Amino acid sequence: MKKITKGVIAIAGFGTRFLPATKTIPKEMLPIVDKPIIQYIVEEMVAAGITDIVLVTSAQKRAVEDHFDRAYEVEDHLETTGKTAMLKELRKIDKLANFIYVRQKGGRGNGAAVLSAESAIGNEPFVLAFGDDLVRTTPGQPSFSQQMVSEYSQYGCSILGVQPMPATEVHKYGVVELDSRGQVAKLMEKPSPKETKSNLVSFGRYLLTPEVFSYLKKTAVGKGGEIWLTDGIAAMLQKYPVRVRQIKGGQWYTTGDPVNYFRTLLAYSADHPDLKKELKSFTKKL
């Protein structure tokens, strides 16, 4: 069984729900306290032993590339002003992983994003994340990418990150139905309430075997004129087992819209040693 050392983060979307803020700033660069969203995802993968991270981007994402590069002028300023602790943190960023940038091509949708990473991934299993999904684990718990890698080492097949959701919300996500063995029996993209009784939704964390690429190449354009990863994985089920992993000791947060972004910001702020006391006082006043 191959060791997993590669990860893919899909960040080519326009972030239209945050306009005009995202006119020039990628939504993945919006801050969660003192770090951008994308850095939390990278750190989660690195904690799982991933050394090569492929970022599937678009022309609007130059700021992401700049973030994971050196910032010599800022570093010189911090050194001159004696802010050594901040300087140390800044110099860690470009060393987190080997970053590979590819432009999304060949159509719209998250399936097209995964296909764009094929040449960089090759014939290896990989962890996939969407750039607006965070998994906040409690202190002492392994990162969710670590949990998925551990699941893979046991079963040797593709793994979907899942979380139960209220029945009224499942139509917004990819929904998973399991068989008696705990394997994925059915996977549907944004089904209507009449199409499924499952409340188990797939969110932006996957561990995929390389067979997914061949299935995505044969996947027809689906809802919204996009190529959906869900449809490719659903086709894989005919030949390859796929399992799920629920978060142990943590919570999935989406930052894809202003309300959920604010919820995520509050949750992470409550963990921050310099902010949690002030935040508690402020929210009481509200």
List the one residue out of 57, 19, 64 whose CA is nearest residue 257. Answer: 19
Helices (H), the chain: 37-47, 62-67, 72-80, 84-93, 110-116, 118-121, 144-155, 211-217, 229-236, 258-269, 276-285
Domains and CATH numbers, the chain: 6-156+204-216+249-285 (3.90.550.10)
Q: What is the mean pLDDT of residues 134-152?
A: 93
Looking at residue 192, its pLDDT comes to 77
Separation CA 138–CA 270 (nearest Å):
12
159 phi/psi in degrees, rounded to 5 = -130, 135
The more confidently predicted of residues 167 and 51 is 51
Q: Which of 41, 40, 54 is nearest to 5 (CA)?
A: 54
Return the structure tokens found at 258: 């202003």
Q: How many residues does the chain have?
A: 286
**How much is the pLDDT for 222?**
67
pLDDT tier at 228 (50, 70, 90 boundaries)? confident
Average pLDDT, the chain: 89
Here the tokens at position 29 are 């660069």
**What is the model's pTM?**
0.91
Residue type, 108: R
User: pLDDT at position 49, please?
Assistant: 95
Instruction: Determine the Cα–Cα distance for residues 97 and 50; give it in Å rounded to an integer.
Output: 8
| Rounded Cα distance, 208 and 159, in Å | 6
CB 38 within 8 A of CB 131: yes
Residues of the chain with pLDDT > 70, as a percent, come to 98
pLDDT above 90: residue 48: yes
pLDDT value of residue 224:
66
